A and B are shown apart, each in its own frame.
Chain A
Amino acid sequence: ELKVEQNPLFLSMQEGKNYTIYCNYSTTSDRLYWYRQDPGKSLESLFVLLSNGAVKQEGRLMASLDTKARLSTLHITAAVHDLSATYFCAVEHGSGNTGKLIFGQGTTLQVKP
């Protein structure tokens, strides 16, 4: 059974600091996603990572994937208050585009001025 674990689950940081959120998963998968969710809102897609060594960047967020270690990271550079949200990683269950995403517990990021 595929399990997805994120850490930390809660992160409070100062503006301007850097930090990394980790996502570990238990079995081989073809695709890994990062989503953002603001309080009371829906999920917004951030990144899709497909292959070992894949790196994607958008603004202050950078995601990477190590399929051998079954690990993805979401790195936050020089955090700003607008980045405060809950971040989920999700891994596709099985192989061959199954459509079934298994989500982590989420990491709630609070950026303080």
Chain B
Amino acid sequence: GAGVSQSPRYKVTKRGQDVALRCDPISGHVSLYWYRQALGQGPEFLTYFNYEAQQDKSGLPNDRFSAERPEGSISTLTIQRTEQRDSAMYRCASSLQGGLATDTQYFGPGTRLTVL
């Protein structure tokens, strides 16, 4: 079946511009997660949703970063006034339901963001 999809796959923007990254989770998955992965590192947690409710946003670096999932399916991660240090791979993951003991997060292909 279809996995997690993300768009765009690559985004190049100039410093100071806003960007919106989209995530389409696996159909029927309740939980959705955003991570950021620097080259040569493991993913770093940003935020997490159950349905449309944002459960944890403790990993968002600052108030330029926000995320929403208004209808409990597709999610958008928005970065305002981008800076060069925001350049990274942004990965989305989804899981059937975060409360299940054996719940597994399935990762999407990522969006490679480059801020010039």
Contacts and interface: CB of A to CB of B under 8 A. Distances in A.
Contacts of A48: 102-104
A97 B109 CA distance: 24
A93 B91 CA distance: 18
A42 B104 contact: no
Interface stretch (A57-65, A71-79, A102-110): A102-110
B66 interface: no
A100 B43 contact: no
A101 B110 contact: no
A105 B104 contact: no
B27 interface: no
| Interface residues of B, dominant DSSP | loop
B101 A88 contact: no
Contacts, number: 65
Q: For chain B, give the interface size range.
A: 20 to 34
Contacts of A101: 33, 35, 43, 45, 105
Nearest to A45: B104
A67 to B, nearest CB: 14
Given A97-B98, A99-B33, A33 B104 contact: yes
Interface of A: 4, 30-31, 33, 35, 41-45, 48, 50, 88, 90, 93, 97-106
22 contacts: A30-B101, A31-B101, A33-B104, A33-B105, A42-B91, A43-B91, A48-B102, A48-B103, A88-B42, A97-B99, A97-B101, A97-B103, A98-B98, A99-B31, A99-B55, A100-B58, A101-B35, A101-B43, A101-B105, A103-B42, A103-B44, A106-B41
